[in-house]
């Protein structure tokens, strides 16, 4: 079964850090680009970051540039999002999604930034 499973969310204070993980199975992970997408409570979907299949290209939404870093380990079939200097407005469910057309999504992991 093709699937991705996120983990690593939690409650963190403003200015804190978290590292999200996304483990893929059932497909050739190294052949696909990957994305992180988030959804704040009661709001719509927002694309956060992209990484190419071989990690040569990464992209970010302006609001997280310089604070978040996307990476992957193809040997471990895993995608990561290092989140530093977290803000209250980063509170959201974070999803990993496969490829540009986002054909496969995980169940999401919840990040809450609050004092």
Separation between Cα atoms, residue 47 and residue 25, nearest integer Å: 22
Q: Which is nearer to another protein, 16 or 69 (CB)?
A: 69
1 touches another protein (CB under 8 A): no
Find the Cα–Cα–Cα–Cα dihedral 98, 48, 96, 10, rounded to 10°. 170
Binding mask 81-110 vs another protein (x if CB under 8 A, - otherwise)? Answer: --------------x----xxxxxxxxx--
Least distance to another protein, CB of residue 102, Å: 6
CB 34 within 8 A of CB 100: no
Number of residues in the chain: 115
Binding to another protein, residues 14-73 (CB under 8 A)? 35, 37, 44-47, 50, 59-62
Residue of 72, 77, 87, 76 lying closest to 38 (CA atoms): 87
Q: Which residues bind another protein (CB under 8 A)?
A: 35, 37, 44-47, 50, 59-62, 95, 100-108
């Amino acid at each position: 079964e093709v699937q991705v499973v996120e983990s690593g969310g939690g409650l963190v204070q403003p200015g804190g850090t978290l590292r999200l993980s996304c483990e893929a199975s059932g497909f050739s992970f190294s052949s696909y680009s990957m994305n992180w997408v988030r959804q704040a409570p009661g709001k719509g979907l927002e694309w956060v970051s992209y990484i190419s299949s071989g990690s040569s290209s990464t992209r970010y939404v302006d609001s997280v540039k310089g604070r978040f870093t996307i990476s992957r380990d193809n040997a471990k079939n895993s995608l990561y999002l290092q989140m530093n200097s977290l803000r209250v407005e980063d509170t959201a469910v974070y999803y990993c999604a496969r490829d540009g057309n986002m054909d496969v999504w995980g169940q999401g992991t919840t990040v809450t930034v609050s004092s």
